[in-house]
Structure 1
Amino acid sequence: MCTGSCARCLGIALVPLAVLGFLANVLLFFPGGKVMADNSNLSQEVWYFGGILGSGDDLPTPQMIFPALVFLGLKNNDCCGCCGNESCGKRFAMFTSIIFAVIGLVGAGYSFIISAVSINKGPKCLMDTKTWGYPFHDGDYLGDQALWKRCLEPPNVVPWNLTLFSILLVIGGVQIVLCAIQVINGLLGTLCGDCQCCGGEGAV
């Protein structure tokens, strides 16, 4: 597969992952499907916006959507290049894709770390009639569902947070792999140019 076609496939895969990460993070603001009366009672990691700033497609900080769009456009990039040299233009386009892939790696890594920390820490919840806090320690609740009873409110907050942060963890992991592949693919495209490296003569 030529470097441009490979990049396009990676971009196609990243777009739905970014959207899913965004939606998962939004749902974390409604633990158990309920609107919180006091947002300070939400888990701290929810406010780090791992699925929005990192894996999602939030426009002010598009760590994932920009790389995806760049990868999608590489195959049809017909930049005339430096001094009219098309091959040079293709190589430069592949080089810039490496930069965006690294940006994607940083965003996905951020989301992955935040999700892992939150899963290990457990959700913030009502532990008794008055006290909100984190009743779990070092992921002890993961292997013992009986401990989930320590959370009185919001209802079903433990499986809710665990499911959504697990989704973000998986998304972040997959995005890390895809962006790492594009770093290698972009490097090959920069060094080798078009499909000429693999015997082709046409576009990237």
Structure 2
Amino acid sequence: MLGLLLTSEYTNSITEIDVNGDLSSLKTGRNRAEESVQPLVNNHSDKMSTAKCSKFIAFSLYPFVFISILCNIVLFFPDGSVKYAQQGLITEEVKYMGGLLGGGIMVLISSIYIHFTGDNGCCGNRFGMFLSIAFAAVGVAGAFYSFIVALIGLNSGPLCYADGEWTTPFKHSNTSYLADSSLWAKCVEPKNVVQFNIGLFLTLMATSCLQALLCAAQIINGLAGCMFGAYNENKLDEAPLS
């Protein structure tokens, strides 16, 4: 009888040890699986963040592109009249079309490709992100061109009818006319052309600075994409777990 009791207790002890051992093995296996999966999750998160950042930058650039183009077009029509453009009596820097070509077309090309990068992750490859760096550099160059043209236009002042002739009366004033509004009365025609040029050129300068910052941010984001790749969230969801 005693032998049977000892045998039963021994069997129960062995069973408990096996069960505890199995649970311990399961926990250990689960922890190892979580540790192996976590770097992949973090890596995918990094890849998705570069694509999302590209989309954010592209959507932020679009309104600034529109503002640049609009400002440059409006500059051709001081006093809301087309006759000055028809007669060629337009401030010289306006003809350089910094807002239209630089802050407009060049930045627009950059923003479209950056948007494409964010939408598709450029098929998830690093070469696509490298191209986004090149296009972002084009955007920086366009914004810089727009800024320089606007700065020169602001420094030279508008072309207007003053002292009986069409001239640029503030060209050698070293921008002192900007702070002395009493000098603006020199320009008889077009009406309020000084305020007109100052407002639009300052807007172009501010817009081009923001464009350059956003494109520079994409260059940094593109470098991160080259290192970690770029994945679209939908592409990641469709990818096999293996």
Which interval holds the TM-score relative to the shorter structure? 0.7 to 0.9
Match of 1:157 in 2: 193
Q: Tell me which protein shows more helix as a share of its residues.
A: 2
Structure 1 position 91, deviation (Å): 1.1
Task: Report 1:167-182 matches (<5 A).
Answer: 167-182=203-218
The separation in 2 between residues aligned to 1:113 and 1:21, in whole angstroms, is: 13
The separation in 1 between residues aligned to 2:56 and 2:187, in whole angstroms, is: 43
The answer on whether the counterparts of 1:194 and 1:202 sit within 8 Å (CA) in structure 2 is no
List runs of 5+ in structure 1 lacking aligned partners.
Answer: 57-61, 81-88, 196-200
Structure number, greater radius of gyration: 2
**Which secondary structure state, in structure 2, belongs to the residue aligned with residue 152 of structure 1?**
coil
Structure 2 length normalisation: TM-score?
Answer: 0.72
* Matching of residue 107 in structure 1 with residue 150 in structure 2: no
List runs of 5+ in structure 2 lacking aligned partners.
Answer: 1-47, 238-242
Q: How large is the Cα RMSD of the aligned pairs?
A: 1.8
* Matching of residue 189 in structure 1 with residue 225 in structure 2: yes
Match of 1:59 in 2: none
Task: Report 1:81-100 matches (<5 A).
Answer: 89-100=124-135
Q: Summarize deviations over 1:129-182 as a string: whole Å, max 9, x none.
A: 2x1111112111110000001111100100111111111111111001000111
Match of 1:84 in 2: none
* Moved beyond 4 Å, runs of 4+: none
Q: Summarize deviations over 1:89-128 as a string: whole Å, max 9, x none.
A: 4211111100100110110000000001111111011112
Q: How has the CA–CA distance of structure 1 residues 121 and 110 changed in structure 2, closer, same or farther, with 3 Å as cutoff?
A: same
Q: Summarize deviations over 1:22-53 as a string: whole Å, max 9, x none.
A: 11100001112222345332100000001100
Amino acid of the structure 1 residue aligned with 2:148: I
Structure 1 position 74, deviation (Å): 1.5
What percent identity do the matched residue pairs reach? 40
The separation in 1 between residues aligned to 2:141 and 2:122, in whole angstroms, is: 28
